[in-house]
Amino acid sequence: MMMRKIIQLRNLYFLLFIVGCTGLPSCKVMNPSTMFQTDNDFQYTNFEQEKSEYIIRPFDKLNLRIYTNDGIQLIDMGSSSTSLTNQKVISPYMVEHDGLVKVPTLGRIKISGLTIKEAEKELEEKYSQYYQKPFVLVNITNRRVIVFNSGSNSGQVLNIENEKFTLIEALAQAGGIDDFSKAYKIKLLRGDLDNPKVYLFNISNIEEIKKANMVLQANDIIYVEKRARYASKTLNELMPYVAIFNTLLLLYVTVQAL
């Protein structure tokens, strides 16, 4: 009789534990690695149609190459001269928090908010005061995004290789969406992490997928939420306790039988 009561109490305890955790998605025991959680009534940032080109932001790092004579040195491939008199390399310079970048001769100039083409044109106009027909090339060296795929199980840092690096392309490079990820719940965090913009994407719907063509910015964070696997997690959590309990129970029965 006592043994039956012990077994019944054990089964009841484990059943209550399972029901409690599976009924609460926020149960920290079941989801200790969940990141970037938001409340049910959280107001996500409205999708904004951005320019199709990369926009320079504060804290971007720039490499500048400045040629004279409309970049004639770039196309004079037959020349054996190694002289760099027609080229000035400025590398690297950071766009400051106020959107200004400090470059030689010009000092601090406003560059944040411009596309790369717009920045090149702006610099060419300003350097024309000091060089003959300047030809400027701008390269952003710190352009990368962070992708957490399948929750926090897989994290990758991806370099932005082209001007139209989109959310879909980043997800593809990170391995796509696996069977345990939610294609309908992908968060994109952008800007200052003290008060970031948070976008929500649903690429499971062909209509919503149009928004996923959004051009990524440097330091964007992409988080693909993971589908909860409560049953397997519950069993994994309980198995050590079940083993200990069964061992103690067996020991008790053995002692009583002596």
Token pair 């020349």 is found at: 79
Read off the DSSP letter of residue 180.
Answer: T
Give 175-228 pLDDT, tens digit per residue. 888 877 888 888 999 887 788 889 988 888 787 777 777 888 888 999 998 876
Give the H/E segment covering residue 100.
strand 100-103
The pLDDT value given to residue 141: 85
pLDDT digits (tens, 9 = 90+) for 179-189: 778 888 889 99
Confidence of residue 88 (pLDDT cuts 50, 70, 90): low
- Provide the pLDDT for residue 81: 44
In 3D space, the residue among 220, 217, 199 whose CA is nearest the CA of residue 47 turns out to be 199
- Domain covering 61-140 assigned CATH 1.10.1040.10 in the classification: no
Give the percent of the chain with pLDDT over 70: 65
Q: Which residues contact 146 (CB under 8 A, 6 or more apart)?
A: 155, 156, 157, 158, 219, 220, 221, 222
Least trusted range by pLDDT, from 167-176, 188-197, 241-250: 241-250
The pLDDT of 65-87, averaged and rounded, is 58
The yes-or-no verdict on residue 236 having pLDDT over 80 is no
| Topology (CATH) of 32-52+143-227 | Outer membrane lipoprotein wza fold like (3.10.560)
